[in-house]
Amino acid sequence: MPEPVLSLGDLQVRFRSNRHVLRAVDGVGFDLMAGQTLGLVGESGCGKSVTSLAIMRLLPTPPAEIAGGRIIFEGKDLLQLSERRMRQLRGGRIGMIFQEPMTSLNPVYTCGDQIIESLRRHSGLSGKPARDRAIELLDLVGLPSPERRVDDYPHQLSGGQRQRVMIALALANDPAVLIADEPTTALDVTIQSQILDLLRELQERTGTAILMITHDLGVVAETCQAVAVMYAGTVVERGEVGALFADPQHPYTIGLMAAVPRMDTDRGRLVAIPGSVPPPWQPIAGCRFASRCPLADDRCRRDRPPLDAIAPGHEVACWKAPIDGDRP
């Protein structure tokens, strides 16, 4: 079996305040293979973006603290690297598309200058070769008139165009891993589809592994080969997209799938998961979903279930799995 290009094991991230210790990420693990797109899915606040920032070592410390686990990239534990070595990897071997390009791009530098600076820092290009490469990258991501847009400032572009600039910046130095954190948020449906198609085409061309962070199950179904479902800071189910979507096994995943609006049904209202997510400072001995799960019993509330395989390539953290017959 080939080695994963990125592997997380038992990652734990805490945020400390005067009153609480918040367990934002509590034991997350997954493998990302070369050329693969892995979807990290879950509702807002489940720890997806914190996981991505932990991989990049961009969490503010304090109040954040990586309390345990490992992040192995190309055989090296990123948690053991110096800050100087991490700066070399960020924007180089590991690229990232942030949620909101308007706050991620520097407003006082042109789009071209920001790409050129990344090329200078990581690839050693400068002058005309760097500018030519920046124009080539903007053309690669489908930005109209790249020779002119290279001198535009971020505020002169539309939301979809800024997202394309972010993708060009993330891909400038041929990364082995691209982290896409909600890359289609706040874009209209047509532009969302264009951005997803662009990422798929670029991956086929470059072989880059993509970690797709999203709350949209439709994006996962369209773009990913594998998926990890997060709930309250933990991974509760992971596997190949086709198998997991065809037969979800964790009650939370089943609830998410049932909550997706459908055109082929006559039901009058959307299905919601009852209850609410437990606060991240609340210690929970058992399954974090137990307070909302219709199948939970005393064991579920007492003992935390491990993430175990129920079929080849399909793992679930639930004492009741595999779930057959009536679904919750």
Question: Per-residue pLDDT tens for 179-193?
Answer: 999 887 767 788 888
Burial class (CB in 10 A: 0-12, 13-18, 19+), 81: middle
Comparing C-alpha atoms, which of 39, 42, 12, 4 is closest to residue 236?
42
Give percent of the chain above pLDDT 70. 97
pLDDT given at position 4:
94
Higher pLDDT, 274 or 228: 228
Considering the chain, what is the average pLDDT of its residues? 90
Per-residue pLDDT at 270 exceeds 70: yes
Comparing C-alpha atoms, which of 144, 143, 148 is closest to residue 131?
148
Per-residue pLDDT at 268 exceeds 70: no
Peptide bond into 62 cis (omega under 30): yes
**E-assigned strand segments in the chain:** 6-16, 21-32, 37-41, 64-73, 76-77, 94-97, 177-181, 209-214, 226-231, 234-240, 308-311, 314-316
Sign of the CA dihedral 184, 167, 44, 155? negative
The SS3 of residue 40 is strand
pLDDT given at position 327:
61
pLDDT digits (tens, 9 = 90+) for 53-101: 999 999 998 899 999 999 999 999 999 999 999 999 998 999 999 877 7
pLDDT digits (tens, 9 = 90+) for 227-238: 999 999 999 999
Domains annotated on the chain, with CATH: 6-93+173-316 (3.40.50.300), 108-172 (no CATH)
pTM for the structure as a whole? 0.91
Peptide bond into 322 cis (omega under 30): yes
Cα-Cα-Cα-Cα torsion 237, 240, 241, 242, nearest 10 degrees, comes to -120
- What whole-number distance in Å separates Cα of residue 185 and Cα of residue 107? 20
pLDDT digits (tens, 9 = 90+) for 125-142: 889 999 999 999 999 888
- What whole-number distance in Å separates Cα of residue 319 and Cα of residue 323? 10
Comparing C-alpha atoms, which of 262, 324, 249 is closest to residue 293?
249
- What whole-number distance in Å separates Cα of residue 315 and Cα of residue 230? 13
pLDDT given at position 275:
87
What Å distances lie between residue 77 and 57, 71, 143, CA to CA?
12, 5, 36
pLDDT given at position 185:
74
pLDDT digits (tens, 9 = 90+) for 215-264: 888 889 989 999 999 999 999 999 999 999 999 999 999 999 888 777 66
Determine the residue type at 306: P
pLDDT given at position 326:
54
pLDDT given at position 137:
92
List beta partners, residue 213: 40, 181
Token digits for 37?
A: 């797109």
Per-residue pLDDT at 324 exceeds 90: no
Buried b (16+ CB within 10 A) or exposed e, 51-75: bbbbbbbebeeeebebeebebbbee
